[in-house]
Amino acid sequence: MTFFKTLFFLILQLGFSSVQAHAFIEQQQPKAGEELNSPPKAIILTYNKNIEPAFSTIQIINEASQTVIETSKAKGVEGESNKLIMPLPKLIHGEYRVKWVALSRDGHRTMGDYTFTIQ
Ligand SMILES: [Cu+2]
């Protein structure tokens, strides 16, 4: 969590702009607010623009605010440069927050977060 906060403030200081949103999320899997009956095998985020996976992160945080998955695990999807995927271990029931930071190929950074629940 400390690492993420540090990263977050570093990005702010580097001039991250939430006003100019460049890589918008078009689709997220699981969906925001979705209540799943079984644990998802991966997080898949689809953007309206091509993404640089090496400079993009996905972080999953559980109800106790502990990071479940480290950010370095997000990968690009071959042949689909507008997608980020992060394979997941088997998650137990509960609410999870997905926090993402994406660098689009035009060099602009965007970020967002949402939650889903495993029943
Ligand atoms: Cu842009």
Is the predicted pLDDT of residue 16 greater than 60, yes or no?
no
Give the span between the Cα atoms of 98 and 82, in whole angstroms.
18
Ligand 1 centroid to residue 82 C-alpha, Å: 14
What is the model's pLDDT at position 106? 87
Ligand 1 centroid to residue 56 C-alpha, Å: 14
Is the predicted pLDDT of residue 1 greater than 80, yes or no?
no
17-37 pLDDT, tens digit per residue, is 444 558 899 999 999 999 999
In the structure encoding, which two tokens stand for residue 114, read together? Answer: 């949402």
29-86 pLDDT, tens digit per residue, is 999 999 999 999 999 999 999 999 999 999 999 988 887 776 556 789 999 999 999 9
Ligand 1 centroid to residue 2 C-alpha, Å: 28
What residues have CB less than 8 Å from 1, skipping those under 6 apart? 61, 65, 66, 67
Q: What is the CATH classification number for the domain harbouring 36? A: 2.60.40.1220
For residue 56, the enclosing domain spans: 2-118
What is the model's pLDDT at position 18? 46
Ligand 1 centroid to residue 16 C-alpha, Å: 11
83 closest CA partner among 107, 71, 100: 100
Ligand 1 centroid to residue 109 C-alpha, Å: 7
Ligand 1 centroid to residue 108 C-alpha, Å: 5
Total domains present in the chain: 1
Query: Is the pTM value of this prediction over 0.85?
Result: no
